[in-house]
A = this chain, B = another copy of it.
Amino acid sequence: MPFQDDFYKSAFSVDNVIFGFDGNNLKVLLIKRKHDPFAGYWALPGDIVQPDQDLDEGALQVLEKLTGIKDVYLEQVHTFGKVNRHPRGRVITIAYYSLIKIGEEDIRPSSFADKVEWKEIRAIESLAFDHLDIVNTCLSRLRRNVKYRPIGFELLPKKFTLTELQNLYESILEKELDKRNFRKKILSMNVLKTHNELQKGVAHRPAKLYSFDAYKYEAAKESGFVFEL
Contacts and interface: CB of A to CB of B under 8 A. Distances in A.
Contacts of A48: 4, 7-8
State the majority secondary structure of interface residues on A. loop
Given A49-B81, A79-B94, A83-B53, A9 B3 contact: no
Contacts of A11: 2, 4, 7-8, 10
Interface string A62-104: 0000000000000010110111000011111010000000000
Interface string A147-168: 0000000000000000000000
Contacts of A8: 11, 48, 50-51
Interface of A: 2-5, 7-12, 48-55, 76, 78-79, 81-83, 88-92, 94
Contacts of A88: 2-4
27 contacts: A2-B9, A2-B90, A3-B88, A4-B11, A4-B88, A4-B89, A5-B9, A5-B89, A7-B11, A7-B48, A8-B11, A8-B50, A8-B51, A9-B51, A10-B10, A10-B11, A10-B12, A10-B51, A12-B81, A51-B83, A52-B83, A54-B82, A54-B83, A55-B79, A55-B92, A76-B78, A79-B94
